[in-house]
Amino acid sequence: MTIHPAMALITQAMHQGYAVGYFESWSLDSFQGVIDAAEETRSPILIGVNGAFLSREGRLAEECLSWYAALGRAAAASAAVPCGLIFNECGNDAWLRAAVDLGFSLVMPDDPEAEPAAFMQRVAALTRYAHQHGVAVEAEVGHLPCGVSETMGTQEGGLTDPLEAARFVKATAIDLLAISVGNVHILLSGSRALDLDHLARVRRAVELPFDLHGGTGIAPDSLREAIGLGVAKVCYGTYIKQRYLREIRKTLGEAEPNPHKVLGFGGPEDLLVAGRRAVKEAVLERIEGLGCCGKA
Which of the four pLDDT bands, split at 50, 70 and 90, describes residue 53?
very high
DSSP conformation letters of 96-165: HHHHHHTT-SEEEE--TTS-HHHHHHHHHHHHHHHHHTT-EEEEEESB--BSS-TTS--B--BPPPHHHH
Structural domain includes residue 295: no
Q: Which of 219, 278, 227 is nearest to 252 (CA)?
A: 278
Ranges of H-type helices in 3-115: 6-16, 28-41, 51-54, 65-78, 93-101
CA-CA distance, 168 to 180, in Å (whole number)?
Answer: 14
What length does the chain have?
296
Structural domain includes residue 117: yes
Structural domain includes residue 296: no
Each residue's pLDDT tens digit, 85-111 = 999 999 999 999 999 999 999 999 999
Each residue's pLDDT tens digit, 104-140 = 999 999 998 899 999 999 999 999 999 999 999 999 9
Angle between helices 65-78 and 93-101 (to 10 degrees): 40
Structural domain includes residue 192: yes
Q: Which of 14, 25, 8, 21 is nearest to 293 (CA)?
A: 21
**Containing domain of residue 149, as a range?**
6-290
Helix, strand, coil percentages, rounded to 5, for the chain: 45, 15, 35
CA-CA distance, 256 to 258, in Å (whole number)?
Answer: 6
Structural domain includes residue 245: yes
Each residue's pLDDT tens digit, 256-278 = 899 999 999 999 999 999 999 99
Which of the four pLDDT bands, split at 50, 70 and 90, describes residue 150?
very low
Q: Which of 56, 45, 49, 6 is nearest to 25 (CA)?
A: 49
pLDDT, position 152: 31
Number of domains in the chain: 1
Structural domain includes residue 262: yes
In the three-class reduction of DSSP (H, G, I as helix; E, B as strand; rest coil), residue 75 is classed as helix
pLDDT, position 224: 96
> What's the Cα-to-Cα distance from 59 to each of 24, 52, 53, 55, 63, rounded to whole Å?
19, 11, 9, 8, 8
CATH number where 271 lies:
3.20.20.70
Alpha-carbon torsion 235, 188, 288, 181, what sign? negative
Mean pLDDT calculated for residue range 52-57: 96
Question: Does pLDDT of 156 surpass 80?
Answer: no
176, containing H or E segment: strand 176-179
In the three-class reduction of DSSP (H, G, I as helix; E, B as strand; rest coil), residue 177 is classed as strand
Structural domain includes residue 1: no
288 or 154: which carries more pLDDT confidence? 288
CA-CA distance, 152 to 22, in Å (whole number)?
Answer: 25
